[in-house]
Structures are given as structure tokens and as C-alpha cells.
Structure 1
Amino acid sequence: MQFLVVIGMIVAVLGVALLGMAIRLVLVKDGEVRGGCAGKNPMMQEEGVACTMCGAAPTEECKSEEA
């Protein structure tokens, strides 16, 4: 019986976490997930790494909307 309680608590915590990550999709009409480039990461900016998704350099704006 305790096993089912623990499994239920795990499922509840994971459900709340997923809902928290998707709150914009759930509550905002036509909501979308906001993405970002690796160029916004300070560690990547120091190394000059380009974004793997859109190819933007750290000094450029994200091109993901164009792709």
C-alpha cells in the first residue's frame, strides 16, 4: 500500500513540474514556448560558440524564427 502512495506522490510532483514548465501554453491564448540561442549563455559568449539551432554568433540576434 505504501508503494502506491509513493508512486502517486512521484506522479503528482512530476505533473506539477510539467505544468509549471508549460504554463504559457496552458494559460495564454496562442501561447508558445520561448526559445533562446546558445549565444545568450555567458559561458558560450566567452568561447565565441555559435548557436547550434540557427547558427547565430554570440553578438547576433537569434535567427530561429527565420529557419
Structure 2
Amino acid sequence: MELLLITFLLLAFGVAGISIKIWGKKDGEFAGTCASQNPMLNTEKEPCGFCGKSPEQFKDCDNSLK
């Protein structure tokens, strides 16, 4: 029962932290949502699945395409 309570509290803190970050940002947007910005994750230089930009074009990533 104690483990269940600890797990629930940790999940609640995580959700609260994400909620506060969304609430605090303008228009509720996260900065740097394109995975192509991270060369460690995108080793094959694939385009972003969100905006279609290549890793070389990540500075121009337009998050308004929602």
C-alpha cells in the first residue's frame, strides 16, 4: 500500500509540474518540440514528424502548424 501511495504522489507531482509549465508558457506551448533538434535522438537526419523540417532547418521550425 505504501508503494502505491508513493507511486501516486510521484505521478501527481509530474502531472502538476507539466501543468504548471503549460500554464506558465505563452499559448501553452513547449519550446523545442521538434525531435530533429536533438542530434543524439535523430542520428539518421530524418525530418521532423511534426513540421517536416530537416535537422538543418530546425531553427525555422514553425509550431503554429497545429
The TM-score by the shorter chain falls in which range? 0.5 to 0.7
SS in 2 for 1:22: helix
CA distance in 1, matches of 2:18, 2:54: 27
> Is the 1:38–1:49 Cα contact (8 Å) retained in structure 2?
no
Indicate how the Cα distance of structure 1 residues 62 and 47 shifts in structure 2: closer, same or farther if over 3 A, else same: same
**CA RMSD, aligned part only?**
2.4
Indicate how the Cα distance of structure 1 residues 6 and 48 shifts in structure 2: closer, same or farther if over 3 A, else same: closer
Residue in structure 1 matched with residue 63 of structure 2 by the alignment:
64
CA distance in 1, matches of 2:33, 2:14: 21
> Is the 1:54–1:62 Cα contact (8 Å) retained in structure 2?
yes
Aligned residues: 62
Q: Quick check: which one's helix share is greater?
A: 2
TM-score normalized with structure 2 length? 0.66
For structure 2, the 5+ residue unaligned runs are none
Indicate how the Cα distance of structure 1 residues 53 and 29 shifts in structure 2: closer, same or farther if over 3 A, else same: closer
Residue in structure 2 matched with residue 40 of structure 1 by the alignment:
37
Runs of 4+ deviating beyond 3 Å: none
Q: Percent identity?
A: 26
Q: Which has the larger radius of gyration?
A: 1
TM-score normalized with structure 1 length? 0.65
